Structure 1
Amino acid sequence: MFRLNLLDNYLKKYTRMSERELSHTVQSNMWFTPVLYVIFSILLVVVTLTTDLKYDLGNQMRLFFAVDYELTRNLVGTLTAATLTLTTFTFNLILVVFTTFSGQFSPRMLKNFIASKSTQRVLGIFTSSFIYMLLSFLFLNKRMAEYYFAVPFVAAIIAAFAMGTFIFFINHAVAWLQVNQMTYDMKNEALSIVKNTLEDEVDPYKVNDLTTVNSDICDKSGYTITAKKSGFIQLVDFISIMKEAKRDDIVIRLEYTIGSYVYATTPFLSYWKKGDNQIDEQKYLSLIKIGRRQTEVQDIEFSINKLVEVAIRSLGNNDPKTATNSIYQLGEVLTSISRCSVFSKYLVDNENNLRVVLQERDFSHYLYNGFGYIRHYAKDNVLVCTEILKVLDLMAKSLNKRDYNAVWEFGVLTASGLENHFLFALDYQQFHRALQNLSVTTKHEKEYEEFLLKSKHP
């Protein structure tokens, strides 16, 4: 009874997930794809054994291909042990990759390797190959068939395919360990989250002209909804919250953002009613998922932090090229946020009535969370700081013009305090040339001249 209840709760956990959350959970687990391959291998065992035992295909093929019971048993038995050894070695190789990633880059990236379709398919092929060999070996029957054809033939093909898959996996692991490929994959993941979370879910409801929104109700004292458990805010169903807020005719404010940690009994939702109707607070609690860890489904900053950690670890390991590569990939993510996002905290319904108020996030927030930590750990490294200025200039050429001030101010703060770290005249020239280019792109030439005067005459 206990096992049935446990299975029932486990199934309910997945049936309650949204489509995006379910997709992310399936991709980040190692068992789902191998289970599908194992099911296919079981069906293949049934087909091959039925073909040999019921239709006596081996006896009909004796003129061209004759494998008796003993040879089939020896072949399948040997391949069973071989595929198990190959599978074990593959798992050891995965553990080595995990250890390397954790030590040199970031433990947060392990899920990226697990979520790789190539990794999951390789594990599925090896596991299903072993299951096929094992079940075929178990159900071989000398009394029912003296000669076999389908079982040994398919077993030989599967063994050859597994060997080819192993070679492919070695190449896949080596390619995935390359820094350029690794940071490129993380950048694409972040860009996907920006598109799905900001562009598709939130931005369609944001209002550009704040004068058209009546937000006076938020100045009054409202009701609060407290969290029922501690953890990270993982998912917010913005679309459903908008629909329910319109149906209840309320304005609801999220006191924390996705990725924030809240304690049990923390007031993390506030709402204001326009009438005397009763509000089902539990309904809104169910639309916000709190878990024990951060996830990449909607958390843009968490995905950005992966690239930040790679850059910081690289600086600590005296690997400036890897840090530079991460900085450029991070710059592309921030550029996408600037170009595609509407930085407004007000969400309105189709009748232009205010329904949801978010925590305010502008481009400066994402810029600081992206480059702020890297700048801190690279504060004594003029070359890396110069690269940051170059990336800021490259970003500014594609940014929304409203974010020019934020980029320029960040560049000036990066430049401040580095006068005593120029070892050579070329360091000074390259650094100030990058800052000058940034000032030209962001239309702050006058401020650049003022900065030069202050740096020369403190």
Structure 2
Amino acid sequence: MLRDGILPYSIKKYTNMSKRERWHEIYTNLWFTPILYAFLSFILIAVTMMLDFSFGAGQAVSPFLSVSSQLTNTIVSTLTTAILSVSTFTFNSILVVFTTFSGQFSPRVLKNFIANKATQRVLGIFTGSFLYVVICFFFIDTQSTSKFFTIPLTAICLAVLSAGTFIFFINHSVKWLQVNHMTENMKAESVNIIQNSLQQELDPYRVEETDAISAEFPECPGHQVVAPRSGYIQVVDFINLIEEAKKDNLLIKMEVKVGDYNYASTPMLKYWKKDASTVDEYKYQKLISVGKHQTEIQDIEFSINKLVEVAIRSLGNNDPKTAINTIYQIGDLLVLISQIGYFAPYLKDKCGELRIILKDLSFEDYLHVGFGCIRHYSRDNVLITIEMLKALKLMAQSIHPNHYQSLWDFAAGTAEGLESDWLFNFDNRLFYKALFDLAEITKNEHEYKKLKQKVSCEV
């Protein structure tokens, strides 16, 4: 058995990951699916060779269907070149897609394209097909008088499959280059993260009644658990963290949240021990994964920021339609967050004992994450600002009234920050109508009148 020091880092890192991290890393890696298809290709090679060489399938079938060794060699060698050519052209197409995505949208959306099952299956089919024909080519003796059936038939079927896969991949790439499909896919990924990180993982442990929580806070300074190295907080195993805190009878306060960059030897969490027993701080370090880059496993903010970057790039490329579509997608995500998240930073164990105090984001924070940068870069674009106000209005019609004031405060700040020395009359009417509609839903008509007077004087 290999020791940890012998294993290369590329393999060793998987042993240090949680199960959730490991599966995410594997499925978003471009190597996993092609290796799987290559393994299936070796199985297919063994089966077809056994049928032709050991069981004489070519002799058993009709002479019309059997193929001589020389013709089989010619077929396989020709298909080897053809499949390699198609594979090369496909890989070139992937590079073109990567370049387009990086330049026009965001380099961070490349991972979405790579992790897409269709993309990985295309590469897997080409890899498996090429391996099959090139390995079979070396086992066929042109001087032999043997007849073949399963090898040439399988090679032809794989060539037809590769041709069909090539057509599918072209259609798949063109579809992915459509912005609506890309943003919809990114939103679906964000929804999955929200449901896993907020609804399924944290919400069962959140404390809903927070009025009496302050009485449980210790007055003495706690003990700190520091980061083992510098990097982004990628994943926090909250469930095991609660269980370990229960075993050690601890109260833990998180000093960081998922997505934060933390320096080595700076605090990640603080804990208070309710008895005199010792605490193994190393096991708490292991429950917090620190890496070189941000991941989408638990980081909702990072996932939303990818959509934000698409919107900002679209504004810079004079593509308002893409920016508007992305704004509505972000609004839809924020509605989902407001509906499934309690936003209480307190987590309890199964016995109802307070165990973890999170450094969490409120709905107002998520609202700023989603629209703050877009508001900044569109402060001189009244049309985009109007669409943002319309998106806020739609959100107000869907979320709980508790969040009305956050929406109105953000809209009021947006209106005050609009940089425009003049407006067309029609744009002016649309702007104030969108603002009034939001004020009416959020019960801020009086504030709207004062804001309109203030903005009108400034404009």
**For the superposition of Structure 1 and Structure 2, which TM-score range results when normalised by the shorter chain?**
over 0.9
Range moving further from structure 2, 52-61 or 264-273 = 52-61
Structure 1 window deviating more from structure 2 (124-133 vs 443-452): it is 443-452
**Contact kept in structure 1, 2:70 and 2:141, CA below 8 Å:** no
TM-score if structure 2 supplies the norm length? 0.96
CA pair 59-335 structure 1, distance change in 2 beyond 3 A: same
Q: Which residue in the other structure is 1:358 paired with?
A: 358
Q: Which residue of structure 2 aligns with residue 281 of structure 1?
A: 281
- Residue by residue over 1:16-45, the C-alpha shift from the partner in whole angstroms, topping out at 9 and shown as x without a partner, is 433322221122111111111111111111
Shift of 1:13: 3.4
Maintained 8 Å contact 2:69/2:145 = yes
- In structure 2, the CA distance between the partners of 1:400 and 1:177, relative to structure 1 (3 Å rule), is same
Q: Per the alignment, do residues 219 and 432 of structure 1 end up closer, same or farther by CA in structure 2, a change over 3 Å counting? A: farther
Alignment of 1:42-441 (within 5 A): 42-142=42-142, 146-213=146-213, 215-418=215-418, 420-441=420-441
* 2:4 and 2:12 in contact (8 A); partners too: no
Query: Is the 1:259–1:294 Cα contact (8 Å) retained in structure 2?
Result: yes
Q: What's the offset of the Cα at 1:64?
A: 2.5
- Between the aligned partners of 1:170 and 1:110, the Cα distance in structure 2 is 17
Quote the offset at 1:10 in angstroms: 5.0
TM-superposed CA distance for 1:87, in Å, is: 1.0
Do the aligned residues in 2 keep the contact of 1:229 with 1:263 (CA within 8 Å)? yes
Work out whether residues 380 and 421 of structure 1, in 8 Å CA contact, stay in contact via their aligned partners in 2: no
Distance apart, 1:5 and its partner CA: 5.7
Deviation at 1:9, TM superposition (A): 6.0
Q: 1:417 to 1:289 in 2, by over 3 A?
A: closer
SS in structure 1 opposite 2:217? helix
Distance apart, 1:255 and its partner CA: 0.4
Q: CA deviation at 1:219?
A: 3.5
Give the Cα–Cα distance (whole angstroms) in 2 for the partners of residues 450 and 295 of structure 1. Answer: 44
Q: Call closer, same or farther: CA 1:358–1:26 in 2, change over 3 Å.
A: same
Q: TM-score, normalised by structure 1?
A: 0.96
Deviations 1:169-201 (A, max 9, x none): 000000011000000000011111111001111
Is 1:37 aligned to 2:49, yes or no?
Answer: no
Distance 1:103 1:279, change over 3 A: same
Is the 1:227–1:264 contact (alpha carbons within 8 Å) kept by the matching residues of 2?
Answer: yes
RMSD: 1.8
Residues 1:120 and 1:215: Cα distance change in structure 2 (over 3 Å): farther
| Worse-matched range after superposition: 40-49 or 380-389 | 40-49
8 Å CA contact 2:193, 2:298 repeated in 1: yes
Q: Please report how far the alpha carbon of residue 351 of structure 1 lies from its aligned counterpart in structure 2 after TM superposition.
A: 2.3
SS at match of 1:306: helix
SS at match of 1:210: coil
Between the aligned partners of 2:406 and 2:348, the Cα distance in structure 1 is 27
**Equivalent residue of 2:404, what SS?**
helix
Do 2:26 and 2:32's aligned partners in 1 also have CA atoms closer than 8 Å? yes
Cα distance in 2 for partners of 1:360, 1:83 equals 52
Gaps of 5+ in 2: none
Shift of 1:404: 0.5
Distance in 2 (alpha carbons) for counterparts of 1:422 and 1:184: 35
How far did residue 211 of structure 1 move?
2.5
Contact 2:231 2:290 in 1 (8 A): yes
Amino acid at match of 2:317: N
Q: Return the offset for 1:63.
A: 2.8
Contact residue 206 and residue 342 of structure 2 kept, 8 A: yes
How many angstroms apart in 2 are the aligned matches of 1:28 and 1:444?
A: 46
Equivalent position amino acid for 2:194 in 1? V
CA contact 2:380–2:419 (8 Å) conserved in 1: no
Whole-angstrom distance in 1 between the partners of 2:153 and 2:93: 29
- Cα shift readout 1:315-362 (whole Å, capped 9, x = no counterpart): 000000000010000001111111110111111112222110111421
CA distance in 1, matches of 2:427, 2:102: 34
Identity across matched positions, percent: 50
Alignment partners' CA distance in 2, 1:66 and 1:4: 53
Give the match's secondary structure for 1:402: helix
In 1, Cα distance between the equivalents of 2:212 and 2:328?
Answer: 39
User: Which moved further from structure 2: 68-77 or 414-423?
Assistant: 414-423
Cα deviation, residue 61, structure 1: 2.4
Moved more, 299-308 or 61-70: 61-70
* Equivalent AA in structure 1 for residue 340 of structure 2: C
Distance 2:146 2:296 in 1: 56
Q: For 1:304 and 1:244, how far apart are their aligned partners in 2?
A: 31
